[in-house]
Every structure is written in C-alpha cells, then in structure tokens.
Homo-oligomer: A and B are copies of this chain.
Amino acid sequence: MQPDPHTPSCNSRDAHAYHEEAHAETVLLEQQLCFTVYAVSREITKLYQPLLKALNLTYTQYITMLVLWELRETTMKALGERLLLDSGTLTPLLKKLETQGLVTRRRDRRDERSLQVVVTEAGLALQEKARHIPECLLQMVGGTPEAADDLRLRLSAALDILRNREPIINNVNDV
C-alpha cells in the first residue's frame, strides 16, 4: 500500500487524529517553532553586526575564529564538525580569513587530503578586541546569563535530537 511516491508521508498513526480539525484550518506563522527559531537567529545576527564590523568579521567568520582562538590549530574537517558547516561554506570563508592575515592554510604532509588551519599572530591579537562581545550582547538584550543559559540548554537538547535522529525515520518516503 504505497502512497504516491512524490508525496512523502509522515507515516503516523496519530496523523489521523489531526486530520479532521486540520481541514481548512490556517497554520499561523507565529505559532510555528521553526519560524520563531529562524527569526530569532537572524535578529541575533543583526545584533552582532555592529560589534563584528569593528573587527571586520561576519558572524560566520566570528564563530570560526572562536574555534581557532580555542584550538590555535585544527583542520577544515574538524572545523566543519564543530561549526556544522561543510567545505562549500568553509573553503571560501577560510580563504577570506587568510587574505585578511588571520589564518594560514596548508596541506597536512602526513595526509595531503587534510587542510590544516592555523591562527596567525594577527588572528590571536583580534581575540583581545573580541573579548567583550558576549557580555555586550547580553547587555544589549538586557538578559541575565542565567536566562540565556536556560534557553540555550533547552535549544541544545533540541539540537541533539535534530542531529542524532534515529535512522528509523531516516527515509521520509518509506512509510
């Protein structure tokens, strides 16, 4: 009993329960968790912008530097796993950071596939200027570290669920 393969089913026995009342009902944007997360993420990035502009960094470049300030030296693969970004995003980004003199890029001699990324002296110097950004952000929104941490822990749990989703539901199509 395979449904139209072009229309993925969510394969839920409970989906039935929703069907009746869902008919002709409107899904409100503001009641969607996804939209709220999406909107919050963009608003936070806008909040960062004036602070990061002083460092001549974008937000993505900034979080990349956060990892580099911590590790001093790493690989693109490790960076990607940490930032949840792939080479399609990181390759041009790291090249940009290299032209700005903040990092160096070179192949690992042990394994020529691997790209080593090392923060430069100028890159380390930038850490000093970035030091107060987290507390500045907190202050800009008027929140407490505790409230931010509480929200972050909840989102962090959600992120784990999103990322470690069981392969059982892996294929959306196979009912």
Contacts and interface: CB of A to CB of B under 8 A. Distances in A.
A129 B47 contact: no
What is the oligomeric copy number?
2
A115 interface: no
A158 B151 contact: yes
B147 A172 contact: yes
B40 A155 contact: yes
Contact of A171 (B9, B33, B137, B147): B147
Interface of A: 4, 6-10, 12, 14-15, 18-19, 22-23, 26-45, 47-48, 50-51, 54, 59, 63, 66-67, 69-70, 82-84, 129, 131-132, 134-137, 139-144, 147-152, 154-156, 158-159, 161-163, 165, 167, 169-173
